[in-house]
Amino acid sequence: MKPRVFSGVQPSGDLHIGNYLGALKNWVRMQSGYECIYCIVDLHAITLYQDPAELRAKIEEVAALFLAVGIDPAVSSIIVQSSVPAHAELAWMLTCVTPVGWLQRMTQFKAKAASQDTVGDGLLQYPVLMAADILLYQAHIVPVGEDQSQHLELTRDIAQRFNALYGDTFVMPETKLPEVGARVMGLDDPETKMSKSAPGVGHGVALLDPPDAIRKKIMRATTDSNPAVDFETMGPGVRNLINIFQAFTDWPDEQIRAHFSGLGYGQAKKQVAEMVIESLRPIQQRHREIVDEPGYLPGVLKQGAERVSPIANETVELVKKRMGLYSRS
Ligand code: TRP
């Protein structure tokens, strides 16, 4: 049996080239060696208020983008978290073995809580639900960004504590961080990672941005005061742009150097913009086809939920039995 991979994306904000180069592109590659489950985590999204109509639309947009970038529903399962009730069920059971201090220490909890007037309990429980997502499928490998490392460590701590209290039940999941170079920074601020939730139109290139918008954003990206590309002295802005170009093309370093060395910034940016536009064109085209085909997307999501439910239900039954809860089997 192939090792199992699980990962998730929140259906909030616009998926951007940083999500694609740092995560989705790799998810597509992993399909050949692993049994993959890719999840749209809508229950995580509502830990901060979401407009219902927007959330509903975003879930489908993200699902269509998963397909458009090359996740193959015949091979991998694409699921919406809330359509598999076992996620919420297991989350409750795991909540009961998780010390509240572990959750209060999470840096993302502290950051998000600091920006809210009232802090919903869901925000504190967020990492427990994430642990449930992963442990529910006994996933071996979880590809995530560096910012999720702490949540993965917590997942292992929860699994270990459960196993110690109730007997060996959960597989210990491994974190798989993206390769260096797959880290895309903000165009307006190359010191921070490109983020779905960052404000400002000049920050990220969304996967569904039209060519004009992409051109405009890249031409306005922050650079430095050098007159032309110099690999020895370039600042983080130029480095980020060239890094984006390289991540899309997969060209080796020498070819990238030969191509960009000495190029004026205007020219270099134009090169990057056109490469991004051309790389996104087939994804956008495929996205349009998926959205235009009535019934296709709901069918994919239904198939995904049906395929993973037996695995999820088996874990929930096992956990119930281990804890002494009333279980049918
Ligand atoms: N917290 C993750 C993020 O914001 C999303 C997520 C939820 C996730 N459940 C998961 C990622 C399980 C990996 C595995 O990026």
C-alpha 130 to ligand 1 mean position (Å): 6
175 DSSP β-pair partners: 142
In a domain, residue 205? The reply is no
Residues 147 and 261 in one domain: no
**Backbone torsion region of residue 112, taken as left when φ is above 0, otherwise alpha when ψ lies between -120 and 50, otherwise beta:** alpha
Structure confidence at residue 9 (pLDDT): 97
C-alpha 267 to ligand 1 mean position (Å): 38
* Beta pairing class for 141-143 and 77-80: unpaired
Task: Give the CATH number, domain containing residue 246.
Answer: 1.10.240.10
Structure confidence at residue 198 (pLDDT): 77
The catalytic residues are 112, 193, 196
C-alpha 37 to ligand 1 mean position (Å): 12
Q: Which domain holds residue 240?
A: 211-290
43 lines ligand 1 (CB under 6 A): no
In a domain, residue 270? The reply is yes
Residues 317 and 173 in one domain: yes
- Which strand (E) or helix (H) includes residue 141? strand 141-143
Please tell me whether the overall predicted TM-score, pTM, comes out greater than 0.85 for this model: yes
In a domain, residue 200? The reply is no
Per-residue b or e along 279-314, where b marks 16 or more CB atoms closer than 10 Å to that residue's CB = bbeebbebbeebeeeeeebeebbeebbeebbebbee
- C-alpha distances in Å from residue 154, one per residue of 34, 99, 111, 126, 163: 24, 11, 17, 11, 14
Q: How many domains does the chain have?
A: 2
155 lines ligand 1 (CB under 6 A): no
In a domain, residue 201? The reply is no
Percent of the chain with pLDDT over 90: 92
List the structure tokens of 288. 């349009």
* Residue nearest ligand 1's atom 6 by CA: 8
List per-block mean pLDDT (blocks of 10 residues) for the chain, which spans 329 residues.
Answer: 96 95 95 98 97 97 98 98 98 98 97 92 97 98 94 98 98 91 89 84 94 97 93 95 96 96 96 98 97 97 98 98 89
